[in-house]
Structure formats: structure tokens, C-alpha cells
Structure 1
């Protein structure tokens, strides 16, 4: 190890992303699969966004938040997958130090926004089902935009904090990242300076964000379940559980993979499990979200049918 490396901010100017597979034939298969997943995700999320924009019936708080979620899913997969596809085409696995930090910042910005937005959506369902008489005033357009703005501010602060904290670490080699995109746990393993404070910061941020969000979501749905059980109409119960079921499915997928990936203290050796979780975070979840909501929402289905078939 170069003794001068420790005195510099970093001796590494670029990282080598090892990707998902090393075999060239398998890389071709991975390219086709991820390109297909990217196109499906972009098409699905933009279709839902278009349906919400053109159909006045969908200009409600629930679909306002769903439209924002579609934008986030589109952004999340765009931050990671196109760059990976480009590396597979060019057979160049190197990414600059600055580009790696930029990708990390935008990924955590969008993922953090996802966390806060899912909490706002749970609050919206709570008000709609448990406080229907005051719902229009408690979830006015001003409140909706305020919730989104506060979520962006909190997510930006979180992402910027982790990026700045990572930039204080020294990287003096090796520079091989056992992943297909730049993320904190994998970069911690390459640092030649102590990452204990960074890991504690990541764990604390995840515990606060995920912990508080999950408590609020669970509390909201306890009240929702109690209110739904009091509904006499079977059709009313079915409709309430249908709208809540979509959100709960997305919440379970998002928090399940996120907790496994980030709430681990200590530099755990990177493995194929981390890559699998990364695929869920960046590809599968954004691809499934529009499918989950469109399948469970007759309003979205009807609007998509009108926009893309009848017209």
C-alpha cells in the first residue's frame, strides 16, 4: 500500500464494477433481460402517469401520490440500469470516482423519497377511510404538495449526508466493486480508512427513516383495518382492502429488500445475495409497482384502456 495514499482524499480515481456475471455469453443474456425490464418499467410507469394526467376522475390525492411514485420508479431504474447496459455493450467496467458518487447520491435521493412517499400514501388511506367527512380539507392540494416537498427535502438531506461522509474516506486500492452499481456497503469494503462512523450513520439513518415510517404505516393500517371491519357492505370492504392491498404489497417489497441491504453493522463481505437484493431494489420493484397498482385499480385499468386502445 502506498504510504502517501492515506494523506490524500483518495488515491483511487476510478472503480471497476464487476457486474452480475463474468461469462460473455451470460452477459448477452443479462443485457437482453435488463433492457426488456427497463423498457417495461419505463413504459408501465409512464403509462400510469399519463393516465393520471389525462383522466380528471383520477385527479385525487391517492393518484397524485401514485403519479409521484411512478416518477420515482422511473428515476430509480434510470439511475442504475442504462449505465450498466452501456458497460455491457462497451465491455468497459470502469467508472470514475465522481460518477460513482453521483450515482450513489441520486440513488439514495430517490430511494429515500420512496420511503417518505409510501408513508404519505399510508396517511392518505387512513384519512380517506377513517376520516371521510374531513378528508377533502385534511388532504387538500396544499397538504399534498407540502408532504411531497418535505419528503424531497428530507430525502435530499439524507442522500447528501451519506455522499459527503463517503467522500471523506480514503480509497487507496483495491478498486473492484462486487456489484453492478455504486452503493454504500460495497464501497465501505474498499476503504483503507475506518468506516465505523459511516456504517453507524447509515444504520442510524435507516433505523430512523425506516423505523419511523414503518411505525406510522402500521399504525395507519391498524386504524384502517378496524374501520373496514365495521363496514357492512361486502363490496365496500372489498374496495377498501383492494386499494390498501396494493400499497401494502409495495411497502413489503420495498422495506423487505431495503432492511436486508442497509441495516447491517460491520463490513459484511459482498456476495451474490447483495446483487440479488440490488436487482430487487433497482429493477424488480420499480417494474412491479405499476403492475400491482394497475391490476388492483379498475379506474387505472379503464383509463389505460381508453387512452391506449379506444383512442
Structure 2
């Protein structure tokens, strides 16, 4: 039976990764002879040579590579367990990795700011991005939580709808359509239509609900840019109401009253079904649900 200690694995991993005993001793905060002794004992326990030295270069043998992988896996598992235990013992701390649809950024940032006040020791990284990047985050499990519109069907996910997401049509305040009593989809089709890039959730929804054919070659990859284009009088835009509340209030743009708008979708909080949420991620997920359940549009 092969026996080895954690100290031996840490020493071996550090030497191979850093390429020397001196560098490993500095990282591990022990003497160079102590590092060498740990690895010698590891070789004796296993019963074979684990590394070769050629000049200043240290490289693992065939068995050494196997042990190195074992060391990496063991250390990764230990560090992960340590983080989980720390988060359990200190549930008000921890790091949160969030990916958010651009249209949801305004209200999620506000919720995060309030959450941070309740849990000041927590840290977070927020990636505000398009739908394709959100899907990549879910496939690769690169984010603890993803805030998006309609979740995909081809990825194993845990998803919960938490708030309405109204999609509206917007126009320049002087657009002639605003003077009409009954605006139709046919009226819109005569205008220059501004929307997100092909594949975006907003564009897919509009095409499905209205049958509109986007008749311009203008594709815009952010809601802010769509609003600016509408303000400049380039055409009719389609955006989430959440992204333009301030502009509507200040009458920089106007909402068009045309069927079937507003198209009511749902915001979802999503994560990979195989992922186990950290305590801080679970807290934030519940915080979002609790603080939006009575809100239609925020």
C-alpha cells in the first residue's frame, strides 16, 4: 500500500510547478532542505524515482506525472473544502460570480448594492453580457448565478422565474406614429426597425410574437446603443422596460402603444444543475426572489 502525507504532496506539487526547490521553499515558507526531505520521503514511500534533474531543470518521471496529478487533485479538493467550510462558518462572507443579461443590469446592480450592505464581507464579480456569453457561462459552469430571459432547453439547468420582463416598442418623441390613435404592426413595418443582433433573446421574442421582418441592416449589440439610436431619430427600437425607465420618465423617448406590446416575459435566475451553490450564492438567489416577488417592473 502506498502511503504519502499532505506535506509531501504539497512539496512535490510546488517543486514541479515552480521548477525548483528554492522557489518551492519560499512559497511553502519552509527551508529548502525540508522541501527536499519531504520529496525524498515521498519517493521512498512510493518506491520509485519521481523526478529528474538536468542542470537547473526539474521534470517529473512517468510515475512522477501520475503523482503530480494526484497532488493537484488532492490540493484542489482540500482548498475547495476549506472554502466551503469557511463559508459555512462565516455565511456573511464569500465570493459571488454573476453573469447578467445587459437588459437586467440596472436592477441587478441595485439589488447587489443592497445585498452588499447586509453582507459587507462578501465580494462579487459581475459580467454584464449578451445571450451567447450567458449560454457559454452556463455550459461551462463559469458563473454561480446567471440572470437572463428565457433559459435554454438543451442544457441541464436549475431555473426560477422571479419577475416580469416587459418588452416595449420605443420611438423618438416627435415620431409621427405617436399622433395616431391605433398603431398596428403594419405601421411599424413601414419604419426603420432597430433591434439587437441575430440570436439575442429580445430579437427572437419580437420575431416570434409579431412576425416582423427587420427591414434595416442596422443591428446593435447593446440596449444603450438602441436607445441612443432612437433618441437620434434613426428608427423604432425594442427594449426591456427595465433598461429605459429613466428615459421614459424624462420623456427623452416615448413608448408606443401598439399590439402585442408590451410583450410580457419573465426574468429567470439560473445555474447549472450539476453545480452546488455556495452559501453566499444561495443567500443572494433567495434575496433576489424575496425582493422582487411583489414587483411587476421594479
Give TM-score scaled by structure 1 length: 0.21
Higher relative contact order (CA 8 A, sep 6+): 1
Larger helix fraction of residues? 1
Instruction: Name the one with the larger strand percent.
Output: 2
